[in-house]
Amino acid sequence: MTQPTEGETRTFERTFTVEDVQQFAELTGDDQPRHTEPDEDGRVMVQGLLTATLPTKLGSDNEVLASTMEFNFHQPVYTGEPITCQSTFDTVEERDDRYEFTSDVVCENADNETVLTSATNGIIWKDE
């Protein structure tokens, strides 16, 4: 675990595949045609909650235990489209055994268009 610092930004990039979307559809039952039938470019729309796993990945990297996460979906994400997410610690309060924090995440496509934003409140346990 790395101690979080106010203003610190961490980044993660991912490109979802058709197989990712199909596996998520099988797991969740969200198998609408827009997620299973490719468009004229061979792409399918990524489920919103699959897109929302990007901030979750950043949280996992930081050993976060989220108490709340709020997502805003700004536009669709398609397979084959690289998405870059940046998470910034807005506030960090140190306690005896943990850090309590708030953070904001902004996810953008390759055209620098915002596709998802997220706000998180949570904790990071200190190493013992």
Q: What is the pLDDT of residues 58-83, one digit of tens each?
A: 888 888 889 999 999 999 999 999 99
End-to-end CA distance of the chain: 10
5: closest CA among 63, 90, 66, 67?
A: 90
The alpha-helical segments, DSSP class H, found in 1-128 are 18-28, 33-36, 48-51, 53-61
Kindly state the tokens that stand for 17. Answer: 């595949």
Lowest mean pLDDT among 40-44, 108-112, 124-128: 124-128
Domain ranges of the chain: 9-15+46-125
Note whether 56 and 14 are within 8 A (CB): no
Whether this prediction's pTM lies above 0.75 is answered by yes
User: What is the CATH architecture assignment of 9-15+46-125?
Assistant: Roll (3.10)
Note whether 109 and 85 are within 8 A (CB): no
Q: Average per-residue pLDDT in the chain? A: 93
Distances (CA, A) of 8 to 37, 73, 97: 40, 24, 21
Q: What confidence tier does 115 reach under pLDDT thresholds 50, 70, 90?
A: very high
Residue 128 confidence (pLDDT) above 70: no
Question: pLDDT exceeding 70 applies to what percent of the chain?
Answer: 98
Compute the chain's Rg from CA coordinates.
16
Mean pLDDT computed over 85-107: 96
Residue 91: per-residue pLDDT: 97
Residue 1 confidence (pLDDT) above 70: no
Kindly state the tokens that stand for 45. Answer: 């729309």
CA 78 to the chain's CA centroid: 15
Residue 15: per-residue pLDDT: 98
